[in-house]
Amino acid sequence: MNRTAPPARLGFLYPGHAAEDDYPLMANMIEPPAEINLVHTQFVEDAHTVEALSEMGSVCRLAEGAAALAGSGIESVMWTSTSASFVLGLEGIRQQIDTLEKTLGVPASTTAMAFARATKSLDATRVAIATTYPEDVAQRFRDFLRHFDIEVEHMASRGIVTAAEVGHLGKADVIDFAVANTRAEAEALLIPDTALHSAAWLEDLERACGMPVLTANQVSFWEALRFCGKLTPQARMGRLFESIP
């Protein structure tokens, strides 16, 4: 008698409102569909500045959000902001993860860590990066990746200050930006920023760029599944999901 595996139950802490609809979309793109519980966290200012992002990713903000997930039955939890984790450095990320795991009693990670692990999963050591961030914030992402021996061959900064503005970028704009920053010497293209929509266009992005493309919401979802032990090969989710190490 065949038994269908129970769906993954995933928790996401998402700052504000921008591209959070990527998560229910991805939940229904995989087989079996996942169950998600997404909580919007609070912050003082919607701005891609080190100061604003540090406040957004502070342990008190994460603890407030995690409290809303208590008792929800989730099997893993993600802090889904790339920049509001890597700007705090590895020690800050460790504190974020510890806060979530101690509050909820389930494995936790952040989007920044998911990028490092997803890049390694593809056996990529040289990448190109297309960021929506201002230059100083983008540079901190480059510095973060160096801790994992990931070499950045090219990096572009679009210089958008608010997540709300990033969330309004459409398919054509995102694909054009990706193609413009694809480099032959790179083994993958990374597009950090969970405020950027990408889930519906993952295959289109990779066809246009001719290489694996990792986006923030995609790697967050991948990491959440991996941490609860329910990551399986999937179609329509990009090369990251095609073969599971």
pLDDT of residue 2: 36
Q: Which domains does the chain have, with CATH numbers?
A: 9-113+218-241 (3.40.50.12500), 119-215 (3.40.50.12500)
Bridge partners for 151 per DSSP: 126
pLDDT of residue 1: 34
C-alpha 180/C-alpha 196 separation (Å) is 17
C-alpha 80/C-alpha 58 separation (Å) is 13
Q: What is the pTM of this model?
A: 0.95
pLDDT of residue 5: 72
Largest interatomic CA distance in the chain: 57
Which amino acid is located at 134 in the chain? P
pLDDT of residue 112: 98
The pLDDT averaged over each successive group of 10 residues in the chain (245 residues) is 73 96 98 97 92 96 97 97 96 98 98 98 97 94 97 93 87 96 97 95 97 98 97 95 82
Question: Residue 68 contacts by C-beta under 8 Å, 6 or more apart in sequence?
Answer: 39
119 in Cβ contact with 127 (< 8 Å): yes
pLDDT of residue 20: 97
C-alpha 78/C-alpha 80 separation (Å) is 6
pLDDT of residue 4: 67
